Structure 1
Amino acid sequence: MTFPQIDPVAVSIGPLQIHWYGLMYLVGFVGGWWLLKRRTERAGSGWTREQLSDMLFYIAMGVILGGRLGYVLFYNFGKFLDNPLWLFEVWTGGMSFHGGAIGVLTAFALLARKFGKRYFSIADFVVPVVPMGLGVGRLGNFINGELWGRPSEMPWAMIFPSDRMGVPRHPSQLYECLLEGVLLFAVLWLYSAKPRPAGAVTGLFGVGYGLSRICVEFFREPDAQLGYLAGGWLTMGMLLSIPMVVIGAAMIAWAYRHDTRRVSA
């Protein structure tokens, strides 16, 4: 298939350029805010609009700061050692989901202290909308023609303009959009629509994202500076996602085991 030639710059106003990738982040945050706002407005939700606004700010900072730090530490630490100031060159690109996840989990702890709420009351409330941001973010990667997949002979394989080898590849960004975005969102949104034990929704997110990412990593080209970590198949994305599956499954088991009320099936 021919890669759709989409200009990465969505809008140009003089020297100001607004990129599709940045707009995808905005769509993710606004869409997540709108969905959480709907749940906030339900009777007895326990949340206010002011709390939701604070929540959005803390989470945005967690995503940006954690995502950048995670990319530097997990994927390009050598470059950071050579040039520590590169950490702040965010305009050159480089964000890590796993680093962003750590940043958001930290933001949940700060919000729990600020609001006087339990940690998982915040985490379980927010994580169902996270896949929306992941999905549109992967669309941004696809538009940029980056983070493409391994060589493929499938009929939907594409030749990406930035690929010097010029071979057809899996559009792995779209695979991630469907698995980590559309499918995971549907599962979490429906599951969280009924009362669940504290921590169960967050645990399900860990399992769902981890499994989705591990599956896609078999089709995604590993980062050039890292390559395969072991056995010609293990990637950094897999290595960071495996603990998410294990911890997430343990959280779900713990949540249901320590839940003293009748839980909706």
Structure 2
Amino acid sequence: MLIHPQIDPIALQLGPLAIHWYGLTYLAAFGLFMLLANRRLRHQPFVSVTTPAPWTRRDVEDILFLGVMGVVVGGRVGYCLFYKPAYYLSHPLEIFAVWQGGMSFHGGMLGVMAAMVWYAHSRKRPFLQVMDFVAPCVPTGLAAGRAGNFINGELWGRLADPALPWGMVFQGAGDAPRHPSQVYQFLLEGLLLFVLLWWYARKPRQPGQVASVFLLGYGVFRFIAEFFREPDAHLGLLSLGMSMGQWLCIPMIVGGAALWWWFGQRGVGAAART
């Protein structure tokens, strides 16, 4: 049994300015996106695009800016709608109190998709091409976020068998060992999804298939990780003994698989017509 090290959430104090570890993990996420997206510019089909304009570093910067806005707005609105709709309906002004915490990945994902719709329309680029460009660059940012969760000792896992070698006691979660679910999510939704998606995206695919694999892969890995993550205290487990996170992953899994098949079939049909 391990004890969570209870790391000070403040990484560096400069007078009145406090730099938090969680902020640094977000900075790492943005830096990794820039690095990977610039590498992605050299991949097909993006390196060959000439209309309406070639893909450049400016596109990466604009996508990152819009993506951050989508994550913040969508993540907050999604949390309010998915996890505490009755409370925020009664206290609508607290929706803007982001400093109180409360963000949803699934809401953030919808916010990013909305931002990419706007980006694709404003730049006259195919929406599926934009989403295929972005998708492989996202998982490392998710991994950085889970590292921040672990450092903060938050979003811990469910109770674990005391014999589990890596079972961990978290401050505020009692004296019993728990699954370090933040680490599980770091490995599954972050590193493993990145490796699989980056490998998949390196070969020619039908438009939309890379983004579909992200939906499917994240949905599956998050669904698995939720078996080890402590459900939200105010929700607990819902129908069929599943958490809210698992229920929100089901449309991702079904939709990702269906879209991957449909985009593939559409590509086969187009090839047959030529």
Q: Normalising by structure 1, what TM-score?
A: 0.94
Give the match for residue 44 of structure 1.
48
AA of the residue aligned to 2:171: P
Give the match for residue 123 of structure 1.
131
- Aligned pair count? 260
Give the match for residue 210 of structure 1.
219
Stretches of structure 1 lacking an aligned partner (at least 5 in a row): none
Give the match for residue 256 of structure 1.
264
Give the match for residue 168 of structure 2.
158
Counting only pairs closer than 5 Å after superposition, residues 1-265 of structure 1 correspond to structure 2 as: 1-41=2-42, 43-44=47-48, 46-153=54-161, 154-163=164-173, 165-231=174-240, 233-259=241-267, 260-261=270-271
Measured on the aligned residues, the alpha-carbon RMSD in Å equals 1.4
Stretches of structure 2 lacking an aligned partner (at least 5 in a row): none
1:240 shift after superposition: 0.3
Q: Is the 8 A contact 1:146 1:162 kept in 2?
A: no
1:57-97: CA deviations, max 9, x gaps?
A: 11110011111111111112233133222111111211110
1:162 shift after superposition: 2.3
- DSSP-derived class of the 2:168 partner: coil
Residues 1:188 and 1:261: Cα distance change in structure 2 (over 3 Å): farther
1:226 shift after superposition: 0.6
AA of the residue aligned to 1:219: F
1:174-220: CA deviations, max 9, x gaps?
A: 00000000000000001101221011001101110000011011111
- DSSP-derived class of the 1:258 partner: helix
AA of the residue aligned to 1:54: D
Q: Is the 8 A contact 1:128 1:185 kept in 2?
A: yes
Instruction: Name the CA distance, whole Å, in 1 between partners of 2:143 and 2:223.
Output: 16
Percentage of matched positions with identical amino acids: 50
1:221 shift after superposition: 0.5
Q: Is the 8 A contact 2:6 2:153 kept in 1?
A: no
AA of the residue aligned to 1:19: H
- Which 10-residue stretch deviates more, 36-45 or 88-97? 36-45
1:261 shift after superposition: 4.5
- DSSP-derived class of the 1:12 partner: strand
Instruction: Name the CA distance, whole Å, in 2 between partners of 1:81 and 1:44.
Output: 49
